Structure formats: C-alpha cells, structure tokens
Amino acid sequence: MSKRSSDFRQKEVISITEGKRLGFVSDVEIDFERGVIESIIIPGQSRFFGFFGQAEDLRIPWSDIYKIGEDLILVKTLT
C-alpha cells in the first residue's frame, strides 16, 4: 500500500512505550534519493504560554512507527 506525505499530516501520535500523547504530525522527512520516508516530525510544545519559546521539534524515525491508523500513529519510542 502506498502512502503520501499528506496522509500523515495532522494525525495524532501516541507512544505505546510510555502510554502518552506526543502531539500531531506537522511534517515528514523524505530521502528523495532512496524514495523513502525517514521520519515524522511533531512540533515542540510551547513553554509557559509561549513566553519562554518552544521546545525542539520531536523527530520520530520511521523504524519507531508501530502502526498507522485512520486518525493516529502508534510509535515505540521514549521521549
């Protein structure tokens, strides 16, 4: 089954390792030479109402993705 990068955007990502919601996919990293998705990107959380900036984006390698569902993505990763 083929997937487009747009199929991943705005899906919620949940860590099955921690049982925690990590956020929503905002982007994907693609290796165009090999034609594969390398990772999904979840934006960092704002700190204290945005006054102290934003945490770094969370990059989840493709190998850590356990299952992709209709509305969410389950990952095996520790944050």
Per-residue pLDDT of the chain (79 residues; tens, 9 = 90+): 445 656 777 799 999 999 999 999 999 999 999 988 899 999 877 555 555 556 788 999 999 999 999 899 999 976 5
Taking the C-alpha atoms of residue 15 and residue 77, their distance in angstroms, rounded to an integer, is 6
pLDDT of residue 8: 73
Strand partners, 21: 14
Is residue 3 within 8 Å of residue 62, measured between CB atoms? no
Domain extents for the chain? Answer: 5-75
CATH topology of domain 5-75: SH3 type barrels. (2.30.30)
pLDDT of residue 79: 56
The whole-model pTM stands at 0.76
Is residue 11 within 8 Å of residue 3, measured between CB atoms? no
Q: Does residue 6 sit in helix, strand or coil?
A: helix
